[in-house]
Structure 1
Amino acid sequence: MWSLKELHYINKGAAMPDIGVRELKTRASAIVRSLREQRTRYVVTYRGRPIGVLLPLDETIPAELSSVPAAATAWDVLTQLGQEISQGWSSPLTSTEILSNMRR
């Protein structure tokens, strides 16, 4: 969890508007547009207490604050898992056929 000092560092000292969970749900499209176009940063609150931060994606966050792996790394892991599953697959049906049968 980020401290107020770390949030201050991420925001370069400028005040970030607070946005409650309900408002975020109601105005999600407008907020995403604001993130994308005006580079607005938000502190997300729940019952008045900060619980998270919304930042434009291409802004850099200090490595020690980021625990999210790079997207390429995540896809590499998923691809590897898919290959491992394929090697052990013993059913005459494909996974798509099995899912299709389950949905009937």
Structure 2
Amino acid sequence: MPYVSVRELKGHLSRILREVREEREEYLVTYRGRVVARISPVEPQRRQMEEEKVQKIMRDLDRLAAEIGKKWPEEVSAVEAVREGRRDL
């Protein structure tokens, strides 16, 4: 696994990321001679799992927004509700 300094990483980020993406290369990033990070490709299965998690969270938020919208009193704006909540503090 090759090492790359922060300075070199700044100067060659596009090339390094291309190698990570296309050649599945991993890099250890150093700062003042000490390893501080690792750049490695995301496994396709893990990427899909992460995307599915995000999609589920977004669906849940959409459902929550719809539920709140159904129960929200029409005569009260969101701004008024926040102001009222702050007065209670």
Q: Following the alignment from structure 2 to structure 1, what is the Cα–Cα distance between the partners of residues 26 and 44?
A: 10
Correspondence for 2:52: 72
Q: Following the alignment from structure 2 to structure 1, what is the Cα–Cα distance between the partners of residues 68 and 44?
A: 41
Q: Following the alignment from structure 2 to structure 1, what is the Cα–Cα distance between the partners of residues 11 and 36?
A: 18
Percentage of pairs with the same residue: 33
Q: Following the alignment from structure 1 to structure 2, what is the Cα–Cα distance between the partners of residues 42 and 84?
A: 41
Correspondence for 1:50: 35
> Which 10-residue stretch deviates more, 83-92 or 73-82?
83-92
Runs ≥4 in structure 1, deviation > 3 angstroms? Answer: 89-92
Correspondence for 1:19: 4
Correspondence for 1:84: 64
Q: For residue 51 of structure 1, what is the amino acid of its counterpart?
A: V
Q: For residue 18 of structure 2, what is the amino acid of its counterpart?
A: R
Which structure would you say has the larger Rg? 2
Specify every segment of 5 or more residues in structure 1 that has no aligned partner in the other structure, as ranges.
1-15, 62-68, 93-104
Distance 1:87 1:32, change over 3 A: same
> Which 10-residue stretch deviates more, 82-91 or 25-34?
82-91
Aligned length: 70
Specify every segment of 5 or more residues in structure 2 that has no aligned partner in the other structure, as ranges.
79-89
TM-align CA RMSD: 2.9
Shift of 1:49: 1.8
